Amino acid sequence: MEAVNALMLAVVGHTNTGKTSLMRTLLHDSQFGEVDSRPSTTREVTSIDVDADGQILLRLFDTPGLEAGSDLYEHLVKSESSFRHDGPAQVRHFLNTMAAAHEFEQESKVLRQLLKCHAALYVIDVRDPVLPKYQDELSVLARCGKPILPILNFTAKKPNNVNEWKLALTKVNLHAHIEFDAVSPPEGGEAILFNRLSAIVPGFQHQLEQLAEYRTQQRAHRLNTGLTQIAELLVDVAAFHEHVKADVDDAQLKPIVEQMQNLVKRRERNCVTEMLALYAFRLEHVRLQQLRLTDGTWKDDLFELETLKEFGIKTSVGVGSGAAIGAGIDLMVGGMSLGAGTAVGAAIGGIWQGWNHYGKKLLGHFKGERELIVDDEILKLLTLRQLNLLQQLATRGHGSQDLLLVTQSSKLREQFLRALSGRLKLARRHPQWSSLNQRSFVRDAQRQECVRDVTELCRGFWSHAN
């Protein structure tokens, strides 16, 4: 890959301030390096290129954590008079000493790399107070004569010492800084970071602007793809039909319903896997609380009453009755829904005593085949779970080690869900549009138009809610 005057950037800081986590988030790679609470997790300098459209625009260097900054500061002060106005010369002289090779081995690796780079990101854990050892580190790093941009990390954690750190940085003439939480990066945070960098290394403004634009396009592409994946899931499930004979009893119906439920759950699991891959996460790295790490299935069953309640979905009798054979499954007779709140087998067999509730005209329809479909409430739950997952992934830094919680969002509107149900009625009338009906599945132009329609509806809601 071509490297056109790439910006070489060292990521430096005290041990355990989140340097590797920041690298993971900037690289969109949850597997880069090793993140651990133990000190000195990173022992060697590691580099990786950041490209856009085949051009390497940025080369990042993950460096070991500084541990003996205060001792090194005292050591350098002793020889300061010999290098009064030439910090880089002093550092180069130090790197050729026995102390650099032994006593300050880790710090020497950082300084040696910084001398080769154009600038540095100094990562600060704002949960820590401003201590002399950090100020000494900054003084040592400044001797390399390279621009330094402080990164205020873990700002989302409260309480913290953000204001104290900002004041301390101005006292050492570091007025440019950025709040960039590696776990929960701010909206547009990458663009802000690249803009701040271009101010301290103006010779790389074009590369940084190009990289910012490329990352913005990537973010938009991921969101569009994620919304399309959700729309595909919803059309697949809405169009899913199973035919049963009029004389089928409960014992015969039960395995058919269970198979439908399992197919829908598997389809949702595939959507989760696709979305994780889209955002470059893996199950063992993202650690979703609601997912089983073994296969990505949800721990909260899609067809259980408590799962629907968790997302604030008002249920019909059928979905709410755990004993109902058709929990989450609707019975269609003559194009009309009877609801799974009835004893489905009894209703089909004609022995349900309350059939008059639906009118005598339906009695004639009991003689032919009936259709089982997935209940509207289940479609709502699928929508809420997947949109919440997408929202979490879109705003999650790859350096995060916390559990990802997918919960109900207060921003979700009943108006949106009603509009969505209306759009999916078209899919209800076309069983061949469901990939779950494999023998008859057709991905025709009309189906794709329906998917695009649902995608745009989700996009409009997403824009309003976010």
The count of other CB atoms within 10 Å of the CB of residue 244 is: 18
Q: Left if phi > 0, otherwise alpha if psi is -120 to 50, otherwise beta: which for 189?
A: alpha
CA 320 to chain centre: 32
Q: Strand order of the sheet with strand 241-244?
A: 241-244, 370-374, 329-333, 336-337
Query: What pLDDT does residue 147 have?
Result: 95
The count of other CB atoms within 10 Å of the CB of residue 80 is: 11
Query: What pLDDT does residue 298 have?
Result: 62
Question: At which residue do the structure tokens 């940085």 appear?
Answer: 169
DSSP states of 73-84:
HHHHHHTGGGGT
Full pLDDT tens readout for the chain, 466 residues:
555 589 999 999 998 888 888 888 888 877 665 555 444 455 688 888 988 888 899 999 999 989 998 999 999 998 877 888 899 999 999 999 999 999 999 999 999 999 999 999 999 999 999 999 999 999 999 999 999 999 999 888 888 999 999 999 998 888 889 998 887 787 778 888 999 999 999 999 999 999 999 988 999 999 999 999 999 999 999 999 888 776 667 777 788 888 888 899 899 889 988 998 898 887 665 556 566 656 556 666 666 656 656 666 665 534 333 333 445 676 655 454 544 434 344 444 433 333 333 333 344 344 456 778 888 888 988 898 888 888 888 887 766 656 555 554 545 567 888 899 999 999 998 999 999 987 889 999 999 999 999 999 999 888 876 6
What six digits make up the tokens of 225? 């793809």
Contact 210, 6 (CB under 8 A): no
- Please name each of the domains of the chain with its CATH number: 2-200 (3.40.50.300), 222-465 (no CATH)
Question: At which residue do the structure tokens 């950025």 appear?
Answer: 178
What six digits make up the tokens of 46? 């590691």
Rounded Cα distance, 318 and 460, in Å: 31
Whole-angstrom Cα Rg for the chain: 29
Rounded Cα distance, 457 and 47, in Å: 42
CA 24 to chain centre: 13
3-state secondary structure of 308: helix
Rounded Cα distance, 120 and 126, in Å: 18
CA pseudo-torsion sign 434, 460, 410, 190: positive
Length of the chain, in residues: 466
Give me the residues paired with residue 11 across strands. Answer: 62, 121
Q: Regarding beta strands 119-125 and 55-62, do their DSSP bridges make them parallel or antiparallel, or are they unpaired? A: unpaired
Query: What pLDDT does residue 366 have?
Result: 47
Query: What pLDDT does residue 302 have?
Result: 67
Contact 153, 125 (CB under 8 A): yes
What six digits make up the tokens of 339? 């609801």
Rounded Cα distance, 197 and 60, in Å: 13
Contact 140, 72 (CB under 8 A): yes
Query: What pLDDT does residue 158 have?
Result: 85
Q: Enumerate residues 6+ apart whose C-beta is below 8 A from 161.
A: 126, 127, 128, 129, 130
Torsions phi, psi of 31, nearest 5? Answer: -105, 0
Max Cα-Cα span within the chain:
104
Query: What pLDDT does residue 357 have?
Result: 37
3-state secondary structure of 230: helix
Candidates 247, 229, 197, 243; CA nearest to 50 is 197
Q: Which run of H or E residues covers position 318?
A: helix 317-320
3-state secondary structure of 46: strand
Rounded Cα distance, 215 and 190, in Å: 8
Question: At which residue do the structure tokens 């873990």 appear?
Answer: 154
| Burial of 373 (C-beta count, 10 Å sphere; 0-12/13-18/19+) | buried
Query: What pLDDT does residue 412 have?
Result: 52
3-state secondary structure of 236: helix
